[in-house]
Structure formats: C-alpha cells, structure tokens
Amino acid sequence: MPSETEFVDYITDRDRIRVKFTLERGVPERIVVELECEVDGRWMPARRYDNRHGHMHVHVRPWDDSTDRTQEVAVPGLRQALSILIGELQVNWQAIRSRLVADVGPVQNDA
C-alpha cells in the first residue's frame, strides 16, 4: 500500500519549501517539491517540481495558470531528485521570490 509523506521546511518566516511524496514499496512514485512565498499576506507557489505527468518537470510560473509552462528536468532517479530539488530551492529561493514579486506587482514590504 502506498504511503504519503508531506513536510514543510521554513527558509524564513515568509518563504518555505513544501515537500510531498508517495512511496510504493519504499520507492518514490510521485514527488512534489515547491517553493512557497508569502506575498501581501497570501502564500503563493513560486516554483514547483513534480512528476505528475510521468516525467519530472518544473513549473516556472505556478502562480499564473495562464502563463505557466513546464520544462522537463533531468534527474538520475526520484529518490535522488528529492535531495537535488530541495537543494536547488534552498540555494536559489531569493531569485525565485524576486521574480514572483516582480510579476504580481508592487507589494508593500516585499521589494
């Protein structure tokens, strides 16, 4: 029977990484790794990696369904992907947050 795990790792009080994965017999079957940022009092997705459609991909604008596009991401395997993708967001969260804030417009206290 598949088991699902979800956890949140706070980078700051307004930036967090949400990780959700399903294991089938101890092997990752489905994963989601997402950077979420609080902007103007709302938590918004800033970048999301998942393998929902059978391959690992990144949503580079998950806050806007009309302009979001996915790009395939090469990973050695889903088990390694969790560590790789979490690490990528930990390193690049500030630049990703800046793109989100620039796109959603001027928001006080977020510049």
Spatial contact of 10 and 16, defined as CB atoms under 8 Å apart: yes
Q: In total, how many domains does the chain have?
A: 1
In a domain? residue 109: no
Q: Looking at the domain assignment, is residue 55 inside a domain?
A: yes
Residues whose CB is less than 8 angstroms from the CB of residue 108 and which lie 6 or more positions away in sequence, other chains included:
40
- Walk along the chain (111 residues) and give the pLDDT tens digit of each residue: 778 899 999 999 999 999 999 988 888 889 999 999 999 889 999 999 999 878 899 999 999 999 999 999 999 888 899 999 999 999 999 999 999 999 996 555 554
Rounded-to-integer distance, Cα 91 and Cα 85, Å: 10
Distance between CA atoms of 56 and 41, rounded to whole angstroms?
Answer: 30
Predicted TM-score of the model (pTM): 0.87
Examine residue 110 and state whether it is found in any structural domain, yes or no.
no
Tell the residue number behind the tokens 């088991």, with chain if given: 3
Reading the block at residue 19, the tokens are: 């990780």
